Amino acid sequence: MRKAASGRMGEKGSEPSGGDRPVHTGSSPQAQNAGVVDAGALGMFLYFEGFFHRLLKMTDEFRPITTVFKDYLSISPSFQEDAESGYCVDAILSTDQQAEEAVSRLSAVSHSVVVTRDADYLKIHLHTCDRDVVRSRIESLGSVVRWADDDLGVQTKAFKRSQTRPAVYIMTTPQDR
């Protein structure tokens, strides 16, 4: 369960305050510092709003997202993103270890750990400050079939250098007449 801004979800003080103003309930520090709503939370809001409108046969119009989230859809001009550091690691491991045990052992030396199983293999994705320690830990779990690591600082600098804003194309389909 994600930690809410003022306590655990469901505890007193973490309930929405009502009105159209969104409540930060565990959004990423970057989203909070930038003054924007968390993209995943926004996606879930849009999905569930449409789902419940349909389920409850509500006939009123949807509230425009620009009304509901007002100032949370633009990055605050005062926001300065911290430089990324560390490594993004992707590995495939041949092992009989359970995914849960791998996550537990790797979480001690990394973060953002995602492990999925396919037959006798584990696909591992994580972020770490020390790729050598992580590699050693992964090798202790089984045989490394594939290993790739990327420097997050280099990736971030390359991404920030791209100043051109890509065009956004919106495709619509004609209504049946």
Q: What are the structural domains of the chain?
A: 3-72 (no CATH), 87-158 (3.30.70.3100)
What is the percentage of the chain residues whose pLDDT exceeds 90?
A: 21
Mean per-residue pLDDT of the chain? 74
User: For position 168, what pLDDT does the model report?
Assistant: 59
Give the N- to C-terminal CA distance of the chain in Å, as an integer: 48
Lowest-confidence pick of 55-64, 85-94, 144-153: 55-64
Instruction: Determine the average pLDDT of the residues in 76-93.
Output: 82
Pick 170 or 140 by higher pLDDT.
140
SS3 content of the chain, % helix, strand, coil (to 5): 35, 20, 45
pTM of the model: 0.51
Residue 21 · residue 27 · CB < 8 Å: no
Distance separating alpha carbons of residues 45 and 47, to the nearest angstrom: 6
- 111 pLDDT band, cuts 50/70/90, is confident
Q: Which tokens in the block code for residue 24? A: 């930060």
Write down the pLDDT at residue 8: 31
